[in-house]
Amino acid sequence: MNEKSLQPLCAIVVVASSLATQAAFAQSAHIDPSYTDLSTYLLVGGKPVPTALVMPSPATGGNVSDIAQVGQNNVATVNVQGAGNSASQIQSGAFNVSTLAVTGDLDHVATTQIGSSDSVSLTVTGQGNTVSDMQVGVGLSYSLTQIGNGGHISVQQIGAK
């Protein structure tokens, strides 16, 4: 064989190898880890449980409300009336909506949404109620009204609509 006929073939292999490396790097450069960061959750029995679910006791006579949002276009509203109530809303994802309404004393209400386009509405009226809701998925919807005293309710939705 002639040495001149091998030279162009080697140049083509080097160029193709260089392009493949650049394409692989460009694909991995745009990953946004904020939607998949579960560092504030514990796995209990293989299910994610928010560490913030154990809420601090509100000061005597005061109300406490915490909202944490990661992502885009999330909406969280809360209306708390009474004394010694606590409300917590955690949203990780996009287009999630949560609404909490608490009327009474010593009620604890929490909602966690991981995913996108989830919606929850929790209404609690009375004394000493504990209500928690966790949604992990896409397009989930839930509404709950608790009227009375001393109720303990926990709801988990996992999956997609």
pLDDT range class, residue 45, cuts 50, 70, 90: low
pLDDT score of 24: 42
Domain that holds residue 124: 64-160
Residue 91 counted as domain residue:
yes
The closest alpha carbon to 161, from 122, 117, 120, belongs to 117
Residue 137 counted as domain residue:
yes
Residue 2 counted as domain residue:
no
pLDDT score of 161: 80
Strands 47-50 and 130-138 come out as unpaired
CB-side neighbour CA atoms (13 Å) of 87: 25
Residue 134 counted as domain residue:
yes
Residue 139 counted as domain residue:
yes
Residue 24 counted as domain residue:
no
> For residue 158, is pLDDT > 80?
yes
Residue 49 counted as domain residue:
no
Number of domains in the chain: 1
**CA 50 – CA 37 distance, rounded (Å):** 12
